[in-house]
Amino acid sequence: MTKSPINPALKLMLELGPLLVFFVANARFNVFIGTAAFMAAVVAAFVLSWSLTRRVPVMAALSTVVVIVFGGLTLMLHDAMFIKLKPTIIYTLFAAVLLAGLAVGKPLLTMVFNEMFDLTPEGWRKLTIRWALFFLAMAALNEIIWRTQSTDVWVTFKAFGVLPLTALFAALQYPLVMRHEAPDVTTRKG
């Protein structure tokens, strides 16, 4: 039995909720309690998402596993470095997967955005390269922030800086998407 897609507002809450839990728990207590709360919230969001859709998105599954592994290391070793490394590793993995897909001739970004728009092969290639470079830039930015700023500044950036940067980057891709939109086969003359 297939479930219907998640309401976009609920989907956004499932994605942002764990970050907000992390921010609040860190601000109220410390990074270790924040990490434990983040881990619980990520698992809860993943389970709720699965129960509503009966499918496991690859990116969400990968993120959940990395949060559990690095959050667990943070708590076991009582070292916040591990939870701070998590975004760097996730972004680097996303970039590597996208670039590997291109290398074997499969632009994997189509799995993420295929329902939103239809591009020419060249459009998918360019968009994939841009997203891979964006993820590498975000990995570098995460490294700079956690290594040069306080934990509170890093958590604030993680909770309130990543989404606006990602949304801005996505919006800036609109001209490329419009330029490489695949011709609509229903309007072609046969």
Residue 4 has pLDDT above 70, yes or no: no
Per the model's pLDDT, the better-predicted residue between 174 and 7 turns out to be 174
Residue 189 has pLDDT above 50, yes or no: no
pLDDT tens digits, one per residue of 6-54:
777 887 788 888 989 999 999 999 999 999 999 999 999 999 988 888 8
Per the model's pLDDT, the better-predicted residue between 185 and 134 turns out to be 134
Helix (H, G, I), strand (E, B) or coil at 1: coil
Which pTM was predicted? Answer: 0.81
CA distances from 92 to 9, 98, 114 (A): 28, 10, 22
pLDDT tens digits, one per residue of 98-156:
999 999 988 877 777 766 778 898 999 999 999 999 999 999 999 999 999 999 999 99
Within a domain: 186: no
Per the model's pLDDT, the better-predicted residue between 110 and 92 turns out to be 92
Within a domain: 185: no
Within a domain: 190: no
Token digits for 10?
């609920």
CA distances from 111 to 53, 57, 78, 136, 144 (A): 16, 10, 38, 20, 31
Within a domain: 187: no
Q: What size, in residues, is the chain?
A: 190
Name the residue range of residue 144's domain.
Answer: 8-179
Within a domain: 184: no
Cβ neighbours around 176 below 10 Å, total = 14
State how many domains the chain has: 1
Within a domain: 188: no
Q: How confident is the model at residue 187 (pLDDT cuts 50, 70, 90)?
A: very low
Residue 3 has pLDDT above 70, yes or no: no
Within a domain: 41: yes
Residues 6+ apart with CB under 8 A from 91: 135, 136, 138, 139, 142
pLDDT at 115: 64
Within a domain: 60: yes
Q: How confident is the model at residue 190 (pLDDT cuts 50, 70, 90)?
A: very low
pLDDT at 188: 41
